Amino acid sequence: MIDPRDLLQEAMKLPPEARAALAGSLLESLDTEVDADAEAAWGVEIERRLREIDEGTATTFSWEEIRREIGR
Q: How many CA atoms lie within 13 A of 1 on its CB side?
A: 3
Q: How confident is the model at residue 49 (pLDDT cuts 50, 70, 90)?
A: very high
Say how many Å lie between the first and final Cα of the chain, rounded: 42
Q: 24 near 16, Cβ under 8 Å?
A: no
- Alpha helix segments (H runs only) across the chain: 4-11, 16-30, 36-55, 63-70
Half-sphere exposure of 61 toward its Cβ, with a 13 Å CA cutoff? 8
What pLDDT, on a 0 to 100 scale, did the predictor assign at position 70?
A: 92
Q: What is the pLDDT of residues 2-35, one digit of tens each?
A: 999 999 999 999 999 999 999 999 998 997 888 8
Domain ranges of the chain: 1-32, 33-72
